[in-house]
Amino acid sequence: MEKMKNSANIIKDLMILLEKKEAINPVVLDMSKTRLLTDYFVICTANSNIHMKSLRDEVVDFFNEKGKKIIYFDRGEGYDWVLVDAGEIIVHIFTKSAREFYDIEHLWLDAERVVF
């Protein structure tokens, strides 16, 4: 329970960062009641590939500053969907068309949206 509380505090700061960096429609899903081994999905849209790379780099720097170990992140460029996996928090950054196509918010409809 303490881990989730700490993650929730990090999520709040992450949402502020994403808003500041003009991520489009950032959403947090509470995944703790699903079969996945993560507590939260953070989903947002970038307005270009350059913006996506910038958001990814900002999220990686953010987790490093918070002392969160990053398990994996997409290091390449030109993707429609980039992932930053910090264990209990996984950040998905999409292009507009990829977010609509994959629609993971609908896929995980049973996951509760977290509002800050």
| 88: region left, alpha or beta (phi > 0 left; psi from -120 to 50 alpha) | alpha
Distance CA 32, CA 39 (A): 4
What pLDDT, on a 0 to 100 scale, did the predictor assign at position 28?
A: 97
Residue 2 confidence (pLDDT) above 70: no
Specify the pLDDT at position 4: 54
**Which fold does the domain 2-114 belong to in CATH?**
Beta Polymerase; domain 2 (3.30.460)
Task: Supply 64's token pair.
Answer: 């490093």
**Is 82 in contact with 74 (CB distance < 8 Å)?**
yes
The token pair that represents 85 in the structure block: 């996996």
Bridge partners for 82 per DSSP: 93
Q: Which residues fall within 8 angstroms of residue 78, CB to CB, at 6 or more apart?
A: 49
Domain boundaries, the chain: 2-114
- Name the band, by pLDDT with cuts 50, 70 and 90, for residue 7: confident
Question: pLDDT by residue (tens digit) across 40-93?
Answer: 999 999 999 999 999 999 999 999 999 999 999 999 888 899 999 999 999 999
Give the predicted TM-score (pTM) of the model: 0.92
